[in-house]
């Protein structure tokens, strides 16, 4: 049986027991994690993940928790967060090198200040670089992978650098979903700071007008099906405003579920099933969840994806 001291001695970073996950989630939902770990740097992360593999201890990565729903029962695994140790960026020889823990809003600021054009559309996405790379986050016609040249990660217990092609980036997914992303390198075309700032402001205004940003949420619940919008399909099923417990399908944007009154994860799951089944019945379209469900039983996960 592993002791706290065994884990403590395996790496140099922060370690907490029974950490509440709700406070790390933009949904403000979720039980606690058995063990919560924050490695300090690449070597520390490698030591930690090597230790977890040797001890056959399951782990889950979280970034800013803006694309996940954590079960009410919490997570019976180690939760690893890179925000503290990987919160850096550098501009070297025309390229930006940034740690997986950097928030996208800060990343966009840094790009603008260094005359790197094209990242402005990511400004309103409340995630970290690591979470964005894993699911190839994007908005308004652009994706995080557009200007990536290299990703540094841990795969199979080794530190590796892979190029963009090896990342197999596609709509809201990548070939890196089983890896631990530590850092990425980007080469952007030159941009002028003032027009980029204007563009960023316009897109943020547009986003704030169309999304329920004043309520805790996890962004789009479902991926858009080919040539259509999940929000349109859910709205046409008459589900805007539908409530289960403290969770509600947003009146403003039907592909957002908002936490209006201490919602449980089960409330959200029930609403997801209601929306999905209504869309299957009316349009014969199977919506695929965009948010990641963590800590749930296999039964619940297959219920949501049935
Ligand atoms: C209001 C709102 C608006 C949003 N708008 C958009 C949008 O326009 N476009 C869009 O694409 N998304 C959007 N999202 C969703 C979300 O912000 C993005 O998907 C974001 O990139 C997730 O990053 P995160 O750090 O929060 O990841 P998390 O939610 O913490 O994690 C997401 C997944 O990535 C994994 N992960 C996290 N970090 C790492 C790492 N370093 N290495 C390996 N795996 C990792 C996790 O295990 C999990 O599976 C929105 C969310 C909200 C709340």
CA distances from 123 to 162, 172, 255, 292, 299 (A): 25, 17, 20, 22, 36
Domain that holds residue 142: 89-196
pLDDT digits (tens, 9 = 90+) for 116-170: 999 999 999 999 999 999 999 999 989 999 999 999 999 999 999 999 999 999 9
Task: pLDDT band for 293, please (50, 70, 90 cuts).
Answer: very high
Span 228-238, average pLDDT:
98
Q: Is residue 279 domain-resident?
A: yes
Q: Are strands 59-62 and 32-38 parallel, antiparallel or unpaired?
A: unpaired
Whether residue 172 lies in the annotated active site: yes
pLDDT at 5: 86
Q: How far apart (Å, rounded) are the C-alpha atoms in residues 224 and 207?
A: 17
Whether 241 is covered by a domain: the verdict is yes
290 catalytically annotated: yes
- Rounded Cα distance, 226 and 212, in Å: 24
Asked if 184 and 257 sit in the same domain, the reply is: no
Q: Is residue 202 part of a domain?
A: no
- Final residue belonging to a domain, choices 142, 164, 196: 196
Angle at 9 between CA 6 and CA 12, to 5 degrees: 140
Residue 203 lies in a domain: no
**Number of domains present in the structure of the chain:** 3
The answer to whether the CB of 79 falls within 8 A of the CB of 21 is yes
Q: Which residue has the tokens 């199977």?
A: 286
Residues contacting ligand 1 via CB (< 6 Å) = 26, 60-68, 82, 100, 125-128, 130-132, 134-135, 137-139, 180-181, 211, 213, 217-219, 292
In a domain, 57, yes or no: yes
Using only the alpha carbons of the chain, give its radius of gyration. 20
Q: Looking at residue 169, what DSSP letter applies?
A: -
Task: Look at residue 4 in the predicted model and tell me its pLDDT.
Answer: 80
Count of CA atoms in the C-beta half-sphere (13 A) of 79? 28
Question: Is 70 exceeded by the pLDDT of residue 1?
Answer: no
207 assigned to some structural domain: no
- Structure-token match 């967060």, residue found: 81
Q: Whose CA is nearest to atom 21 of ligand 1?
A: 132
Residue of 46, 133, 137 best suited for mutating to test ligand 1, as the one with most atoms within 8 Å of CB: 137
Closest to 291 in 3D by CA, of 252, 247, 251? 247
The CATH number that applies at residue 167 is 3.30.465.10
Catalytic residue flag (residue 220):
yes
Say whether both 180 and 241 belong to one domain. no
| pLDDT of 8 higher than 90 | no
206 assigned to some structural domain: no
CATH number at residue 32: 3.30.43.10
What average pLDDT is seen over the chain?
96
Q: Could you say which of 49, 81, 113 is where a domain stops?
A: 81
Look up residue 233 and give its two tokens: 């399909």
> Of 46, 38, 92, which Cα lies nearest the Cα of 62?
38
Q: Which of 24, 103, 124, 125 to mutate to test the pocket of ligand 1 (most atoms within 8 A of CB)?
A: 125
pLDDT band at 272 (very low <50, low <70, confident <90, very high): very high
Catalytic pick from 14, 115, 172, 207? 172
Range 190-207 average pLDDT: 95
Domain C-terminal end among 81, 100, 115: 81
Report whether pLDDT(301) > 70. Answer: yes
pTM of the full structure:
0.94
């Amino acid at each position: 049986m592993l002791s706290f001291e065994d884990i403590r001695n395996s790496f140099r970073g922060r370690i907490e027991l029974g950490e509440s996950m709700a406070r790390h989630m933009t949904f403000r939902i979720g039980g606690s994690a058995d063990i919560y770990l924050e490695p300090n740097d690449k070597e520390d992360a490698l030591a930690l993940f090597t230790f977890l593999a040797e001890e056959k201890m399951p782990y889950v990565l979280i970034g800013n928790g803006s694309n996940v729903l954590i079960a009410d029962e919490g997570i019976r695994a180690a939760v690893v967060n890179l925000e503290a140790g990987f919160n850096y960026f550098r501009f070297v020889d025309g390229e930006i090198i940034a740690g997986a823990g950097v928030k996208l809003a800060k990343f966009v600021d840094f790009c603008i200040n260094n005359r790197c054009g094209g990242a402005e559309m990511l400004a309103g996405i409340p995630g970290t670089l690591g979470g964005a790379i894993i699911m190839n986050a994007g908005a308004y016609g652009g994706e995080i992978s557009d200007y990536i040249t290299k990703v540094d990660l841990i795969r199979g217990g080794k530190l590796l650098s892979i190029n963009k092609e090896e990342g197999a980036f596609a709509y809201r997914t990548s070939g890196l979903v089983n890896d631990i992303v530590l850092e990425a390198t980007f080469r952007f075309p030159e941009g002028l700071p003032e027009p980029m700032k204007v563009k960023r402001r316009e897109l943020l205004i547009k986003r704030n007008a169309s999304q329920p940003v004043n309520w805790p949420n996890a962004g789009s619940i479902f991926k858009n099906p080919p040539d259509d919008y999940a929000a349109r399909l859910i709205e046409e099923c008459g589900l805007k405003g539908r409530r289960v417990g403290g969770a509600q399908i947003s009146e403003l944007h039907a592909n957002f579920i908002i936490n209006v009154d201490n919602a449980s994860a089960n409330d959200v799951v029930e609403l997801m099933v209601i929306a999905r089944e209504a869309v299957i019945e009316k349009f014969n379209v199977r919506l695929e969840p965009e948010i990641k469900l963590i800590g749930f039983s296999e039964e619940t996960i297959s219920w949501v994806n049935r």
